[in-house]
Structure formats: C-alpha cells, structure tokens
Amino acid sequence: MTKKIFIYSFLMGTLVLFLCSALFFGLQYRKTLDETYDALKGEAKYAASGMETGGISYLKSLEEINRITWIAADGSVLYDSDYPDLTKNQGEYAEVKSAFAGGEGQGIRRSDSGGSNMLYYAFLCKDGTVLRLSRPLSRIKTALETVSPVLWVFILVFLISGIISFRMANQILKPVNELDLDHPENSNSYPELRPLIDKLQEQTLTIREQSESHEELRREFSANVSHELKAPLTSISELAGQIRSEGCAPEKARECAGDIQKESNRMITLVEDIMKLSRLDAQEEPQEWERVDLYEVAGDIKKELSAQADEKKINITIEGSHETIRGIGHLMHEMIFNLCDNAIKYNHEGGNVVIGIGRDGKKPWISVTDDGIGIPLDEQDRVFERFYRVDKSHSKQIGGTGLGLSIVKHGAGLHGAEVTMKSAPGDGTSIKLIFPA
C-alpha cells in the first residue's frame, strides 16, 4: 500500500512537473519568436528608410547579423547580402507574396539557398519593392539556452517531490499500519478511519459470537452423537450378555442375534449420516455438477422404496413432468430419498405418498407429500436440526437417525434451493424444494 501511494503521488508530481516544463518552454519559445519578429520588423523599416536616400550602396554598408534581400516588383533579386549571385525568383515565397499584397509578411521555412530553417520578415517599400530580412531559427534555440538553469531547478524539484512523496506515503499509512486489529477501539487514527474501526469492532464481535455459537453447536452435536451411539451399543451389549448366559435357549440366541444385527445396522446408518453431514459442513462432498432430471430421480427412488412401502401398504405416486436442474446427482438422490423415506416412516398403514415435479415460472421444483401423522406448528422450525425428533419414542420405534432433514437442508443450501413446509397434526406433511431458474 505504501509503495502504491508513493508511486501514484510521485508519478502525479512528475506529470505536473513535465506539464509545467512544457508550458514554460512553450511560452518562452513563443515569446522569443515574437521578439525576434519584432526585431526583424524594426530593422527592416530602418533599412528601408536608409535605402530611400542611399540606395543599394546603403544596404551594402550595413553590417547586419541578418540576411538582407532586396526584391523587385517582378520577384527578381536586386540585392542579397549573403548570396550576391542569387537569381531565383523570390516572388513565389509566401512572405514575399504577403508583403506585395498587404505591406508585410512573415514565416518560417527551410531556405533553398542555405539549406537551414530561417525566420523571414518582408516589408513593402514606398517604391514598390520588397525588403526582406531573415535570421536562422537556430538563434531562437540559442536564446532558449539562456534559460537552461531553470532545468536544474526542475531536476531539483523532481528529487524533492520524490522525497516528499515517500514521506507522505509513510505518514498517511502510519495510522493504518498501527491499527490494533484485535482491539481496534484502542487505535488513535484519523477521524476518516472511524467507520473502518467501527466495522472492525462489529466484525470482531460477530466473529466472537459465531465462535461461541459454533462451540455450543459442537458440544451439542458431540452430546447428541454420544447419546445416539450409546443407545444401540447398550442394546448390543445387553443382547450379547443374554447370549453368553448359560441358560440362553437356541431360539432366544437367534432372536438376540437378529436384534444385534438390527442395532448394528442402525449404528452403521447413523455413522454414515454423520459422515455425510461432516463432508457437507466441510464442503468436501464431491461436487460433480450435471443436468439432473427430477422425474427420473423420483422414479428411481420409488423403485428403491417399493419394498418398504409395501410393508405398510403405502401407495407411492409420481405426478408432473420431466424438469431438469443443474445439480449434484448423488446428493439430489440422497435429499429426495430422505424426504420419501420420512414420508413412509411417519405415515399410517395404507397411506399415500405423492412425489410432485413442476415449474413455477422459470423455477423448477419437487415436492414430497404424505397423509401421515403431521408435525405441530411449533415444532416445524426445528425439524431440520440435527438429531431433532418431534416424538422421540415413536421415532425410536420406527428407526431413523434424526439427520435426514438436516442433510436435505444442507443439500438445498448447496444447490441454492428454497425449502418450504406445510404440515398439520393428522393432515400429513408436504416439503417442497424450489430451485433457482
């Protein structure tokens, strides 16, 4: 940041210095040029006045630093101080034409005789001839060299501006560099930095609150995981103890072994769901985005859950049309599977589950609706929390980990989808996922 401020301020100073230099020398050049023309004009009038009485002999007697050319009305050369044998017609040159037409003329051009750039001034005499004086343009440059000491002033200013820019950059950023990010309220700085300090304080407070909230969630999550794992492990331990007892009959042992397998499967499912949530939290879930046909996903899930639905004589139907979204295929399958699995588990025997697919404007959606036990209104905000169950005793009886809707919520967030719920005790539940256009 210091380097940038230094570079910008130094470049700005250099640019201003360059523009001032260009303006100064431009004005000085213009002034010297005008002064030279005025000098040529005065000398020409003086020479014309003397020539009226002395003729060409007067011109020859002048010791002029300027070149003098006397031109007849037809453009022929009557006299030239530098080139006595000059014969080229001079009437074709602009300054001579202007003099014949308006009494005087001037200009800068390359001399055909000398081959260098010259300043010309032509004056119309009373006898109809033109007297022209010229001076090399190089003398203007020589005159400018008299102000060359100003260049050293500019160089000095250039160096001083670099030093000032460096010190200014350090001074400007000193309060910013001295900010105590852990305790911004203790920083003494510019009043202009007060909004930044207030924002830092607000963010520090937010981070602290989030950290405390995350720590509380972590402890709660650890307690829930411990509790959920303890239950099947306790059951497995008790069942294993019964099998080891000397009086355990073979039939009872087989029954206990079946219960052990059931509790083991429950624990495996719980661990798998915890791992899925952990990967979603850490955004480690493989994100292979693709076009997902919601109708086809619903059809696959209907086949997978057909045996479970048949046990409770629940009818699963799919309504709607083929709607595609850009999503993560396996995660979309997991989300809709969990919704349908819950719709079967928390339904009455002989109930119905309807998977609907459609589009609201440009937004595709999928919903899972059942006519089961429903969810009380005051519980609906919490059903997406991890391990939360509306009826813990009933949930334990029918199985489940309490993590299915949490996975749905996280998956919806990853897809940018909105989750809505309509439910009432005894009237069933409808959960809808609305995806972005």
Q: What is the CATH number of the domain that holds 207?
A: 1.10.287.130
Q: How far apart are CA 184 and CA 203, in angstroms?
A: 11
Residue 217 in 3-state DSSP?
A: helix
Token pair, residue 316, equals 């699963």
In a domain, 172, yes or no: no
pLDDT for position 355: 96
In a domain, 302, yes or no: yes
The reply to whether 7 and 110 lie within a common domain is yes
In a domain, 163, yes or no: no
Mean pLDDT of the chain: 78
Q: How far apart are CA 129 and CA 123, in angstroms?
A: 9
The reply to whether 238 and 299 lie within a common domain is no
For the chain, give the percent of residues with pLDDT over 90: 19
Positive or negative: CA dihedral 259, 264, 270, 273 = negative
Residues 6+ apart with CB under 8 A from 50: 58, 59, 62
More confident call, 88 vs 241:
88
More confident call, 2 vs 252:
252
More confident call, 174 vs 104:
104
Which of 166, 157, 196 is closest to 4 using CA atoms?
166
More confident call, 338 vs 144:
338
Please give the angle made by the CA atoms of 396, 398 and 403, to the nearest 5 degrees: 65
Burial class (CB within 10 angstroms; exposed 0-12, middle 13-18, buried 19+) of 314 = buried
pLDDT for position 135: 84
pLDDT for position 47: 81
More confident call, 224 vs 18:
18
Q: Mean per-residue pLDDT for 301-316?
A: 93
In a domain, 119, yes or no: yes
pLDDT for position 223: 60
In a domain, 156, yes or no: no
pLDDT for position 309: 93
Q: How far apart are CA 141 and CA 159, in angstroms?
A: 27
Instruction: Select the highest-mean-pLDDT range: 169-183, 213-227, 290-304.
Output: 290-304
Q: Give the domain CATH number at 18.
A: 3.30.450.20
Running DSSP on this structure, what letter comes out for residue 147? G
Place 387 in a pLDDT band, splitting at 50, 70 and 90: low
The reply to whether 236 and 333 lie within a common domain is no
3-state SS, 314-349, equals CEEEEEECCCEEEEEHHHHHHHHHHHHHHHHHCCCC
Place 168 in a pLDDT band, splitting at 50, 70 and 90: confident
Crossing angle of helices 329-345 and 294-304, rounded to 10° = 50
In a domain, 31, yes or no: yes
Q: Mean per-residue pLDDT for 22-41?
A: 76
The reply to whether 371 and 273 lie within a common domain is no
Place 315 in a pLDDT band, splitting at 50, 70 and 90: very high
Token pair, residue 204, equals 């520090």
pLDDT for position 140: 67
The lowest-confidence range among 205-214, 226-235, 338-347 is: 226-235
In a domain, 159, yes or no: no
Q: Give the domain CATH number at 304.
A: 3.30.565.10
Which of 284, 316, 332 is the last residue in one of the domains?
A: 284
More confident call, 300 vs 21:
300
Count of domains in the chain?
Answer: 3
The reply to whether 305 and 246 lie within a common domain is no
Which of 238, 269, 284 is the last residue in one of the domains?
A: 284
pLDDT for position 401: 61
Check pLDDT > 70 for residue 281: no
Could you tell me the residue range of the domain that residue 131 belongs to? 2-146
pTM for this predicted structure: 0.47
Check pLDDT > 60 for residue 308: yes
Query: How do residues 86-110 score in pLDDT, each as one tens digit?
Result: 888 888 899 999 999 988 999 888 8
Crossing angle of helices 329-345 and 404-415, rounded to 10° = 140
Residue 167 in 3-state DSSP?
A: helix
Instruction: Select the highest-mean-pLDDT range: 168-172, 238-242, 276-280, 294-298.
Output: 294-298
Residues 6+ apart with CB under 8 A from 90: 69, 71, 75, 76, 77, 96, 130, 132
pLDDT for position 226: 63
Which of 123, 146, 169 is the last residue in one of the domains?
A: 146
Check pLDDT > 60 for residue 176: yes
pLDDT for position 87: 82
